[in-house]
Amino acid sequence: DTDPAPDLRSVLPSEVNSKYNTIYGIVFDAGSTGTRIHIYTFHQRAAGSPLELDGEIFESVKPGLSAYANQPEKGADAVLSLLQLAQDAVPSSHWQKTPLILKATAGFRLLPVHQAEGLLSEVRKVFNSSPFLVPENSVTILDGTDEGILAWITVNFLTGRLHGDHSVGTLDLGGASTQITFLPLNKATLDETPQESLASFELFNSTYRLYTRSYLGLGLKEARLAVLEASVSVAQQEQTFRSHCFPPALNGSWVFSGVTYRYGGHSDGLTGFHLCYSEVQRIVVGKLHQVEEIRHSPFYAFSYYYDRAVDSSLIGECHVCAA
């Protein structure tokens, strides 16, 4: 085997498990706010036994792929640049057996189908020209249900809670959507939940039936645009979006998904929590499904919940897990 590039050696600890065959896997997370690559290394003690994770390389670029809806080739270039990292990290002897997949999330769900398909098709071309293994359906959009379930499995697996009745619910706040997922224990919850918000699946010989709901457009960034009643066409005319959530004298600009939005406080001089609260309420009232059980259930919150909690000093920064 060719060794990984020297600067990546520390995160791909191949020597530790050199007696086992190293297996690589490459996953792209095409989020609304960025595209990320994860290059995983695993080893397997014997044929048929589970893969054990040895290390991971992570890199990301901004903006997200969905910002290139009108320039799909340029979007695919961002994927290509990240893929170069994988070519440096994975020994060439392993390229042909290293699977490559990309899952797009809410930014793509918001795009018109022809634009989303245009982007996915350019990414497929990049994948097919790479030396890696491209499984069938390797470039797809993850639906909100799968996104919620996968987050729930991840948190409960990593905290050792998958078995038994002590699972925790998950709150995931992305840029374009937000997901709430938990394992209902009350019959009343199951009775009052529409079927499309209940998902059953098998995992490690157990059957799980989860409540999961994804709110498209209520991720941090998209919800902000909704509160400001901001549209791309108006932003391009350089109009300012005004809100009582800002101090009256404030004027600023914000770039999201390749578009610059100018924003500012109201000329009526009014601002403050209550006015701001009612502006925010306007975009969520009638859209949220709330079941009583969540009031008494433990939840883990992450993604932008974590980022914003750190920014506002509600919690300290987690240096170990930030990697």
Ligand X SMILES: O=c1ccn([C@@H]2O[C@H](COP(=O)(O)OP(=O)(O)O)[C@@H](O)[C@H]2O)c(=O)[nH]1
Backbone torsions φ then ψ of 194, nearest 5 degrees:
-60, 145
Helical ranges in 129-171 per DSSP H: 144-158
- End-to-end CA distance of the chain, in Å? 27
What DSSP character marks residue 239?
A: P
State the nearest-atom distance from the C-beta of 119 to ligand X, in Å: 14
Binding mask 183-222 for ligand X (x = CB under 6 A): ------------------------------------x---
Query: Is the CB of 168 or the CB of 250 nearer to ligand X?
Result: 168
The one-letter code for the residue type at 254 is W
Task: Tell whether residue 106 is a contact of ligand X (CB under 6 A).
Answer: yes
Instruction: Examine residue 170 and tell whether it contacts ligand X (CB under 6 A).
Output: no
Among positions 225-284, residues that touch ligand X (CB under 6 A) are none
CB-based contact 194:161 (threshold 8 Å): no
Q: Which is nearer to ligand X, 42 or 306 (CB)?
A: 306
Min separation Cβ 117 and ligand X, Å: 17
- Rounded alpha-carbon distances, angstroms, from residue 33 to 74, 114, 220, 270: 16, 20, 10, 32
Smaller CB distance to ligand X: residue 268 or 307?
Answer: 307
Q: Does 76 bind ligand X (CB under 6 A)?
A: no
Q: How far is CA 20 from the centre of its chain?
A: 32
| 144: contact with ligand X by CB under 6 A | no
Of the residues 13, 34, 217, 248, which one makes contact with ligand X according to CB under 6 A? 34
Number of residues that bind ligand X (CB under 6 A): 18
Taking CB under 6 A as the binding criterion, the range among 184-192, 195-203, 279-287, 299-307 that sits at the site for ligand X is: 299-307
Q: Which long-range contacts (CB under 8 A, 24 or more apart) does 16-23 make?
A: 16/54, 17/43, 17/52, 17/54, 20/44, 20/45, 22/54, 22/94, 23/51
Among 22, 33, 214, 243, binds ligand X (CB under 6 A): 33
Residues identified as active-site: 147
Q: Which of 199, 221, 260 is nearest to 105 (CA)?
A: 221
- Applying CB under 6 A, the span of 88-96, 183-191, 246-254, 302-310 interacting with ligand X comes to 302-310
Q: In the set 24, 26, 28, 31, which binds ligand X (CB under 6 A)? A: 31
Task: Tell me the C-alpha to C-alpha distance, in Å, between residue 48 and each of 44, 65, 133.
Answer: 8, 36, 20
CB atoms within 10 A of CB 151: 21
Residue of the chain from 22, 177, 243, 257 that contacts ligand X (CB under 6 A) = 177
| Residue 54 main-chain phi, psi, to 5 deg | -105, -40
The footprint of ligand X (CB under 6 A) covers 29, 31-34, 36, 64, 105-107, 174-177, 219, 303-304, 307
